[in-house]
Amino acid sequence: MKSTWNRREFLQRTSAATLAALAAGSPLANVLTGCKPGAKSTADTVILLWMAGGMAHTETFDPKLYTPYKTGMEGNRVLSTFKSMPTVLDGIHFSEGLQSIGKVMDKGTLIRSYTAADMGHILHSRHQYHWHTCYEPPQTVAAPHLGSWIAKELGPKNPVIPAFIDIGQRFTLGEGEELKAFHTAGFLGNEFGPFFIPDPSQGLDSVRPPVGMDAKRFERRNQLYNELINNSPVGEFGSDYQRESLKRSMEQAYALLNSPESKAFDLSTEPKESYNIYNTGKFGLGCLLARRLTEQGARFISVTTEYEPFKGWDTHENGNTRLADMKKQIDGPIAQLIKDLDKQGLLDRTMVVLASEFSRDMMVEGSPDLKVQEQVPQPDILSDMKFYGMHRHFTDAGSMLMFGGGIKKGFVYGKTADERPCKTIENPIKIDAVHQTIYHALGIAEDTQYEVEKRPFYTTPDGKGKAVMELLT
């Protein structure tokens, strides 16, 4: 079992990694780095639908035996707290409340065997860092986000639209600093970092000057920004690459401000009938914005249900009632996103990935073979409805969905046990394989690397990640 890290230690080490990135200067490309000439690709764009907080597989896309609540029941008997409902795929059921997504599964692949890393005492921020960067924290080098690697290797599809757009996550909440640690391009440079849109309903505010600021004043502020860069720690101690990268990130934002494409950020122009389908909350509108930005040539878009401790998918209690609400937020918008992209002919070259950092179980914390310290009080006998649900962190199974961009249609990969612990028993898939499958579809070579601190840094640890070819057409 790996060493235990608390939040303070995690922040200290990731902050040190950020300073190390500054000291590293410009990453040097290895001769094998980047997309090989003529590399075949099946995708141009990736949309990541991030179920932040730990989405229980047995309550969503891998339902088990349903046991209705009854005061005095044994907790160990409860495998699923929702009925299972048929999908468009013969013999494949989803948990009640996800029927709309179930109707579009003929257009994608269901993965039931994602297994998260064993990193000791479970912290959401550490597992989210691992999922998004493919590297277990802490690292001596600031590891780039998946979206940043893609932005660096492929560049923008449309030079006006930021290559990496992050929708829905705020950093003013609990664990905000921990979340910032992986929402970064790391050593690749600021220009490949995320363009943040915390609230999709206010997306237009992200691409226009503040109220009361005219164009001339904004231009003066842009000039002042460049002066500040030159006088900042990056300007004083950073490399030419880092200074130029920071300036280019601002220039890209400035170009977007003055472009016709900026209208894509204004959801008020969406037809009412379509808008209403997506309007289930921030996440639903984030899916709508992702579709509109894909139409305009975005390269990588992340839409999150937003991680906030003890909210959303982070079900430490009242799991059944909380998940009923979460399903209402995601079911219609995700299904509509897939249908809209397909109707417009965009799904063939757009890969949509739905994932979460790990799953949940009612009784097991960690994995059956490597249990860790329990963080949630869960009685053996349920005396209150608040205990009815999956409240503990479970790392030995998890569900993912993948659509478009060369992914097989109507396909199911992996299997979990039907009895507790409902762990992976066929075709386990880990994060390096997930990342490399995405890179492979985009035509990014598996040996892509940069020299940082005089050693190669790959897209997956030591360059050992292998695409799961069974998932691809």
Q: What is the dihedral of CA 16, 168, 102, 270, to 10 degrees?
A: -150
Residue 243 domain-assigned (yes or no): no
Residue 103 domain-assigned (yes or no): yes
Query: % helix / strand / coil in the chain, to the nearest 5?
Result: 40, 15, 45
Mean pLDDT for the stretch of residues 398-421: 98
- 325 has pLDDT over 90: yes
Residue 31, amino acid: V
Reference 329, options 352, 306, 308, 346; nearest CA is: 306
Greater confidence, 210 or 288? 288
> CB–CB of 413/110 below 8 Å?
yes
| Range of weakest confidence among 237-251, 362-376, 393-407, 423-437 | 237-251
Residue 227 banded pLDDT, cuts 50, 70, 90: low
Residue 239 domain-assigned (yes or no): no
Residue 104 domain-assigned (yes or no): yes
Tell me which residue range forms the domain holding 97.
7-203+261-467
Assigned token pair, 322: 């909380």
Residue 228 domain-assigned (yes or no): no
Residue 151 domain-assigned (yes or no): yes
In whole numbers, what is the pLDDT of the chain averaged over residues?
87
Residue 93 domain-assigned (yes or no): yes
What are the strands, taking DSSP E only, across 140-203? 164-167, 195-197
Reference 304, options 268, 272, 276, 330; nearest CA is: 330
Question: Domain of 413: which CATH number?
Answer: 3.40.720
Give the model confidence (pLDDT) of 101-143 as tens digits: 999 999 999 999 999 998 877 889 999 999 999 999 989 899 9
Q: Enumerate residues 6+ apart whose C-beta is below 8 A from 298.
A: 45, 157, 158, 161, 162, 163, 165, 290
Number of domains composing the chain: 1
Global pTM?
Answer: 0.87
Greater confidence, 9 or 370? 370
> CB–CB of 349/404 below 8 Å?
yes
Give the model confidence (pLDDT) of 28-63 as tens digits: 654 334 444 446 999 999 999 999 999 999 999 999
